Amino acid sequence: MHTGFRWEWKNTGQEVDGTVDLYIHGGREHFTIEVKKELRDYQLAKLKELNEIRKPFMVVADRIFPSLKEKLRENQINYLDTAGNVYIKTGANTIWLDGLKQSQPNRLVTNRAFTKTGLKTVFYLLLHKDAINMPQRVLATATGVALGNIKNVLDGLEDAGFVLKINTKKLQLQNKRVLLERWIAGYGETLKPALHLGNFRQPPNHAFQALANFPIVPGKTVWGGEPAADLLTHYLKPQVLTVYTTAKKKPVYARMETIANS
């Protein structure tokens, strides 16, 4: 099938991933592009920002899930995936093609680096650049992961191309940006649900305390989400108070005078 338009891509060598020219109906449309392996919801805010400052802008990805395509269209963000699904809206042209299926690759064995225990280890490795050269027993103690799983995680990282062998004794993490994106996606889908301790509320007519006066335990309990942002900016009014803790949950929520949601 001949579509009547053609593409030309250029690598700019700058902070963006490149530019692409679309030739259609005798004219040319020029786009700045961002390339992703697989789009996730958490990346939408950044894409909206790029769409404002890099107009006309397009995101190109191997896979874009239908719900995210809808959000991209709602925000007037042009997109293209490797199956050929495309949405482009400019002043002169609108192209919208959907429903094309991705080819199905052979099913791969789950990479142990991105299981619940693997994600804990990867987080530690991203924070401590020399940790990948620790003895496995020391790394297991530092991460709280069973010693038997450490080798599987390191092998998984190597198989996925995230480990560079400097010599016979020294390793180094590579492709850290891609690894971080894999970790963020894995955390949201796999690890975060397992860490959720529950939802709690304060009793009716309970006087709300200022965040700074809440009984947070330094080193064991910290704010996250909206309350953490409010403590930094003094601008937000949190509706949901998110707490991260390594302490036992009952004493923590008792001190905060909360009760479990039924």
Contact 63, 79 (CB under 8 A): no
Contact 22, 1 (CB under 8 A): no
What is the count of structural domains for the chain? 3
3-state helix, strand, coil in the chain (%, to 5): 40, 25, 40
Contact 131, 123 (CB under 8 A): no
- Whether 128 is in a domain gets the answer yes
Per-residue pLDDT tens listing for the chain (262 residues): 444 555 566 565 556 678 888 887 777 888 888 888 888 888 888 899 999 988 889 999 988 888 889 999 999 999 999 888 999 988 778 889 888 887 755 444 468 888 999 999 999 999 998 999 999 999 999 999 999 999 999 999 998 889 988 888 899 999 899 899 989 988 888 888 888 888 877 777 665 666 666 767 777 888 888 888 888 888 888 888 788 888 777 777 777 767 677 5
DSSP 212-225: GGS---TTTEEEEH
Domain containing residue 256: 200-260
Residue 179 maps to which CATH number? Answer: 1.10.10.10
Pairwise CA distance, residues 237 & 71, whole Å? 26
Cβ neighbour number for residue 242 with a 10 Å cutoff: 12
Cis-peptide into 56, omega within 30 deg? yes
Q: In the prediction, which pLDDT does 2 show?
A: 44
DSSP 187: I
- Same-domain pairing of 190 and 209: no
- Whether 234 is in a domain gets the answer yes
- Same-domain pairing of 86 and 64: yes
Among residues 195, 222, 240, the one where a domain terminates is: 195
Q: In the prediction, which pLDDT does 107 show?
A: 45
- Same-domain pairing of 238 and 190: no
Q: Which of these, 257, 258, 245, lies nearest to 199 by C-alpha position?
A: 258
- Whether 62 is in a domain gets the answer yes
